[in-house]
A = this chain, B = another copy of it.
Amino acid sequence: MTTPKTDGPTVSPLAPASFPELPKIDGVRFAAGAVGIKKANRVDVMLAEIAPGSSIAGVFTRSATRSAAVLDCQAKLAGLSGDEGFAIVPPEAGFAIVVNSGNANTFTGKRGVTDVDLIAAAAASALDLPASHVFTSSTGVIGEPLPATKITDALPKIAASLDASATEPAARAIMTTDTFPKGAVTTLDLDGTPVTIMGFAKGSGMIAPDMATMLGYIFTDAAIAPAALQAMLSACNVQSFNAVTVDSDTSTSDTVLMAATGLAGNAPLTAPHEGFQAALLTVMQDLAHQIVRDGEGATKFVEVRVSGADSDEDATRVARSIANSPLVKTAIAGEDPNWGRIVMAVGKSGAKADRDLLTIRFGDILVAENGWVAESYTEDAGAAYMKQQELLVDVDLGVGDGAATVWTCDLTHGYIQINADYRS
């Protein structure tokens, strides 16, 4: 049994040792400000300014009740590109991203739409951009009107403090119930030109609409055509932000935006580039894993690896079924090597499976095969393994070549405490 986490700013036991040094990205400047959206003196607005000539791309929640800001981002990307999902950039104007925490501006009717427009207009005015080049996100409680004028009034002053090195304040400004800021960076050589990929994210319930919601912002100085940027962002998203789950709930606000300024001077990538995409994936997986590590009440970081499925889709179905099962997650919280619950989760997933072909491992420990517990398995070995903080649940379905990996955390008293008490 885990010890319930106390309320307040206790940092997750799974947090990285420290926030990484996030380097400057040529063509991107950040600022943060405290405008008092929910609490006085809490830094709650992040502004990013992105140089003219940049490419921008985005991926968003598929929720049918998505927020006004998400709908606005999607419309603007579609408008810029003449299509949905990526932007053909008019070279004369840069871009801005404005994010507030403390209020999600979701399910706020027509007023919510107006508030998005007000914020975009204020940022456009402060930075001399068209409003159609300003992307906004809001995260926090839902159903309450956003005090937009607090943001619009403060934007000129926040804009005046834009600074390429203000990456950590920017990462902190978007936090809600997060117990630590989440950043990641990598560099690579792009045909002779060194380029940097840097990003930060927030999220603590995956994905709790009124306190967490997943947001991510990624920047690179590489030159990448918009369609190629969108293609790589979408591809990496499948194996990063879309491959983590804390509680199976889907936010109304999930947004990942990525900008490529091109100021590194490489020959522009006009199609997905294997090396760049691999580097981008490490940054996005790093951020996604940090979200799981900050999962509400989490005390264990769990990788669920499924192979031998009829298809990759089936493998994903099984991995999610295991990772979202309350019974599996509570067993892990209790450090109980309860592999029977894994069998149950495979069975209920809807994927093609055969009880007698299933192989289950905890890390390197063979637990079950041929429709029964493995002869070599001992409950003591399983129990000792479960005491670790980082766990691997490995399932081979034995029916094909499909594979998928999903990351999750355990389900503890801490989750109940955070979510049964929030807002009351």
Interface residue ranges, A against B (CB under 8 Å): 1-2, 61, 63-66, 106-111, 141-143, 205, 208-210, 247-252, 324-327, 330-331, 333-336, 338-341, 343-356, 358, 368, 370-373, 383, 411-413, 415-417, 419-424
Contacts and interface: CB of A to CB of B under 8 A. Distances in A.
A286 to B, nearest CB: 25
Contacts of A2: 420
Contact of A411 (B372, B416, B421, B424): B416
22 contacts: A1-B417, A2-B420, A63-B344, A65-B346, A66-B347, A66-B355, A142-B340, A143-B343, A143-B372, A205-B327, A208-B327, A209-B341, A210-B340, A248-B326, A249-B345, A249-B348, A250-B344, A331-B420, A333-B416, A334-B419, A383-B424, A412-B420
A355 B417 CA distance: 29
Contact of A251 (B111, B210, B344, B346): B344
Contacts of A383: 424
Contact of A250 (B252, B340, B348): B348
A247 B63 contact: no
Of A111, A141, A324, A416, the most chain B CB neighbours within 10 A belong to A416
Contacts of A336: 420-424
A314 to B, nearest CB: 11
Contacts of A325: 248-249
Of A61, A347, A413, the most chain B CB neighbours within 10 A belong to A347
